[in-house]
Chains A and B, each alone.
Chain A
Amino acid sequence: MSELRWNPLSGEWLATATVRQDRTFLPPKDFCPLCPTAPGGFPTEIPASDYDIVVFENRFPSLSPNPPEPAIAGDDFYAVGRSFGQCEVVVYTPNHNLSLAQEPVEQIYKLVQVWTDRFRDLSAYEFIKHVFIFENKGEAIGVTLNHPHGQIYAYPFIPPKVERQLEQARKHSSETGRNLFDDIIAAEKKDGRRIVAENDSFIAYIPFFARYPYETHVTAKHNAPDMSGFSKDEQANLAEILKQILTAFDRLFDVSFPYIMALQQAPADGANYEFYRFHIEFYPPMRTATKLKYLAGSESGAGMFINDTLPEEKAAELRTHVEPVIWQK
C-alpha cells in the first residue's frame, strides 16, 4: 500500500509505503543485494560480475511511476493522492567494504557525473517536480544495507525543506538584489573561522547556523541552481572537495563517520530559480567520539534545534584533518 496524505496541520504531504516494512535489513556480507552477482552465487540485485557505478529502481519504493491506488479514499479536508515519483538506488562501487570516503577521488568524480546524469534524466519526467539525491551512511543513521550506496527520490511536488529555502532565497533576492548564497559565502569568508576547505568552484564550511556539531555545507561559488550546468572542471572540483571533507570526517574520531548527505538543488518544474544555489548539506549525528546527537523534544516537538557546540570550534577541529588531494587532472 502506498499513497500521499495531506497534513492540514503542517501544510505538507507525507507518503505511506507499507512495502518498505519488508525490505532487506542488514544482511550478512555474503547476501548483500548490492554486490555483484558472483558466478554460481547468491543472485543479487545486480546480475553482473563487475560494474563501475550502477543505478536501479528501488525494490521497495515510496514513490513510483505507476503507483497503486490509495488504500483509503480522501476528501477535500484529508486529501489523498497517488504516490507518483521515482526512487532509485545508486551503488557507488562493487566493493562492499569501501565507503565513499575511502574511494579514490576519481571514483567520486565518476559519481558526480552519474548524479548529474540522473538529475537531468529524472527532471525530464512530466510528473516529477523535484529530484533529491542523498546518502544515509552508517547504522547510527539507520541504514539497512551497509554496501556503499546512495538514493534518489524524485518527488511529484517540491518538498517542504526546499520550499522553505526557496522562499528565503527569493525573499532575499527581491529585497537586496543579491543571491542569498553569495551573501552566506561572503559572511563565512569575512569571519573565516568556520571555513573547512575551498577550491576554485566550491567552498566547504560549518555554517554560522549549524544545527549539528559537524554539519558541513559544500556550496557552489558560482551561480548554479542545480548541477546540470557544471563544467568538467566544476565536477572535478566538487569531487575533490567531497574527498577532502569525507576523509576529514573519518579522521575526526578514527571511525567510518556516519552522516546524511543531502544534495540541495532547484526544483525540476521548469520555473526560474536563478536565486537558488546548488549545495550539499551533511548532517552527521556524532557530537563526540562516543555520543550521538538525537532529535529530541525541542528539535522534534518544536522544530528548534539546539546545537551543543560552537561551529567555530568544530570547524577548526575538522579543518585540521583536511589534506590536499593528489590526482591526475
Chain B
Amino acid sequence: MQDNETGHETSVGEMRKNRETMADGRRYIIYYTFENTAETTTETKPSDLNLKTEERENV
C-alpha cells in the first residue's frame, strides 16, 4: 500500500472513541468523535474474550 500517511490533510481531525455499557447492562456502545487534536484513541478493554495476538488493538 502507499506509504504516505500524512499527505491527505483533510478538515477531519483525529478519531477518538469512547466505549460504554448500554442501559440494558449487557451491550456496549462506542461513540466515535473527530476533533482537530492529536490525542490517541482510547477504549475500554474487554475482560472475557481472548485476542488472537497481543499486537492487535483491544476491543
Interfacial residues, chain A to chain B (CB-CB below 8 A): 43, 45-48, 51-57, 59, 65, 106, 109-110, 113-114, 117, 120-127, 201, 222-224, 229-237, 270, 327-329
* Nearest residue, chain A, Cβ from B27: A57
Q: Flag if A124 contacts B52 (CB, 8 Å).
A: yes
Q: How large is the interface on B (under 10, 10 to 19, 20 to 34, 35 or more residues)?
A: 35 or more
Known: A65-B49, A106-B11, A232-B6. A52 touches B31 (CB 8 A): yes
Q: Flag if B31 contacts A48 (CB, 8 Å).
A: yes
Complex partner residue of A232 from B7, B11, B23, B30, CB under 8 angstroms: B7
- Closest chain B CB from A317 CB (angstroms): 31
Q: Flag if A329 contacts B9 (CB, 8 Å).
A: yes
- A54-B31, A233-B2, A237-B8 known; 19 other A-B pairs, CB under 8 Å? A51-B31, A51-B32, A52-B32, A54-B30, A55-B29, A65-B48, A106-B10, A109-B12, A110-B32, A114-B32, A120-B57, A123-B52, A124-B57, A125-B49, A125-B59, A224-B1, A231-B7, A232-B5, A329-B10
- Closest chain A CB from B45 CB (angstroms): 11
- Closest chain A CB from B39 CB (angstroms): 15
Q: Tell me, in angstroms, the Cα distance from A24 to B32 when the chains sit together.
A: 25
* Nearest residue, chain A, Cβ from B29: A56
B53 at the interface (CB under 8 A from A): yes
Q: Flag if B15 contacts A113 (CB, 8 Å).
A: yes
Specify the main secondary structure of chain B where it touches its partner.
loop
Q: Tell me, in angstroms, the Cα distance from A120 to B34 when the chains sit together.
A: 18
Q: Tell me, in angstroms, the Cα distance from A234 to B4 when the chains sit together.
A: 9
* Nearest residue, chain A, Cβ from B17: A117
Known: A222-B2, A230-B1, A234-B1. A123 touches B9 (CB 8 A): no
Q: Which residues of A contact B17 (CB under 8 A)?
A: 117
**Which 10 pairs across A and B sit closest by C-beta, in order of nearness?**
A57-B27, A124-B56, A56-B29, A121-B59, A233-B8, A236-B8, A53-B32, A328-B11, A126-B50, A55-B30
- Closest chain B CB from A188 CB (angstroms): 21
- Closest chain B CB from A241 CB (angstroms): 14
Q: Flag if A231 contacts B32 (CB, 8 Å).
A: no
* Nearest residue, chain B, Cβ from A46: B29
Q: Which residues of A contact B27 (CB under 8 A)?
A: 56-57, 59
Q: Tell me, in angstroms, the Cα distance from A56 to B31 when the chains sit together.
A: 9
Complex partner residue of A45 from B8, B12, B22, CB under 8 angstroms: B22
- Closest chain B CB from A24 CB (angstroms): 15
